Structure 1
Amino acid sequence: MANRPRGRWDSTTQTAPPITVEVPVLGIGSGPSAYEELGSYVWALRRPRGLHMTLLHLGVVEDFCTDVAVWTKGNTSPESAMGRTVSWLERLPVLEAFSGSAERLIVLGAGGVAGLEIDLPASVHEFQVSLVHALHELLDELLVDNIDDFILSSPALGFRSPRWVPHVAVGRPKYHGRGPWEIARVGVDFGESRIRNRQFLPQLP
């Protein structure tokens, strides 16, 4: 495990996957054809069943706790950080199911992934902001100073920008350039929020 690249997960190994708070996609448009039309914009269109939107990325929890221990110079041990982090995750509120819409594709990260940019109700944006505030409170409890700097520099968290862009990743872009590409407006239905890979969290005593 010590040689595993931090912040990445290989499903062929026994290492733990990253933990995120997400909402599953229940449907796009009026039927399967509405989603399949995106195949003209991307390669290897992802299966509809696995589509989701990430609200908060925590990363591999062991890596996150190690980042905390290093940042606090050992004032918070990885074991203490683990117990408090798992307890914090279990207490997070649940966002009820909701609907949004999309009318363009955007390029994400280094350009290898295209996603639907989602227009959301204000309540969903407020919920995502509340998750970030809750993360700040957790880090304060874990004795992390300069919390914003920690969030942007922690390899486990993997934040590249303080701004959240609501999106659903759907495949690899076919076209060069950064986009965006306009598409026919489609409705997107989401289920209630959940902790992805919750079953990989250690059990609290």
Structure 2
Amino acid sequence: MHTIPRITVEVPVLSIGSGPSDYEGLGSYVRALRRPRGLHMTLLHLGVLDDFSHDVSEWTKGITSADAAVHSTLTWLDGLPVLEGFAGSAERLVPLGGGNVTGLEVDVPEHVRKYQVFLVQALHELLDGLLVDNVDDFILSSRALGFRSPHWLPHVAVGSPRTRNAGTREIQPLTIEFGESRIRNRQMLPGAGQ
């Protein structure tokens, strides 16, 4: 079965702690620890591009077509500035996604929080340009965006909890190095590489 890629603005994890054993040590708290290579922190989730564009078209009652929404969104994604790499730290594991996922709660520098706020403001501007009214309502109700909370919790999902209702766990502090921001699955979008 072919899965349709989700689009996010994210930063890749380059390293956790002082070596592989620091990350592997989280296995005592987490079942099915994710491979370090694919770890990332999401800054903004857009969802599946076709779903997002159809949400816009439905919301505007066809005033903005799905095709127009796709084109504008691709242009918008290409125009986003890149956030340079940075270091964060984690001192606890937190439940995510209703408790089905465990993540490292990450303390990030202030400029990273400001960049994430900028992304949300930029999303508002994109939606305004697409003639979406009541933008906040759209963001919270769009199936594609999937926003469940107005607050951003910087985190790196690392696996599943060993026990149900595991809650928050304090851990030894870990330094996390992140690379520069990127558009996840950009190469799979229309017009990529042109």
TM-score calculated relative to the size of structure 2: 0.97
Residues 72-96 of structure 1, C-alpha deviation per residue, up to 9 Å, x if partnerless? 0000000111110000000001000
**Secondary structure class of the residue paired with 2:68:** helix
Equivalent residue pairs, number = 193
The aligned residue for residue 26 of structure 2 is 38
| Structure 2 equivalent of residue 59 of structure 1 | 47
Kindly indicate whether the alpha-carbon contact (under 8 Å) linking 1:16 and 1:200 is maintained by their aligned counterparts in 2: no
Which residue does 1:124 correspond to in 2?
112
2:63 maps to 75
- Residue 94 of structure 1: aligned partner: 82
SS at match of 1:161: coil
- Measure the CA separation in 2 of the matches of 1:77 and 1:178: 45
The corresponding residue for 2:164 is: 176
1:27-47 CA-to-partner distances (Å, cap 9, x unmatched) read: 000000000000000100000
How far apart are 1:109 and its partner, in Å? 1.4
Is the CA contact (8 Å cut-off) linking 1:19 and 1:61 kept in structure 2?
yes
> Is the counterpart of residue 135 in structure 1 residue 109 in structure 2?
no
Please tell me whether the aligned partners of residues 64 and 156 of structure 1 are also in contact (alpha carbons under 8 angstroms): yes
Structure 2 residues without counterparts, runs of 5 or longer: none
Alpha-carbon separation, structure 2, partners of 1:23 and 1:36: 21
Please state whether the residue corresponding to 1:62 is helix, strand or coil.
Answer: helix
Are positions 1:16 and 2:25 aligned together? no
CA RMSD of aligned residues (A): 1.1
Q: Which amino acid aligns with 1:191?
A: G
Q: Quick check: 1:190 aligned with 2:193? A: no
Q: Flag as ranges the 4+ runs of structure 1 deviating above 6 A.
A: none
> In the alignment, is residue 108 of structure 1 matched against residue 96 of structure 2?
yes
TM-score after normalising by structure 1? 0.92
Per the alignment, residue 35 of structure 2 pairs with 47
Aligned with residue 158 of structure 1, among 142, 146, 149: 146
CA offsets 1:131-169 (integer angstroms, 9 cap, x no match): 000000000000000000000000000100110000000
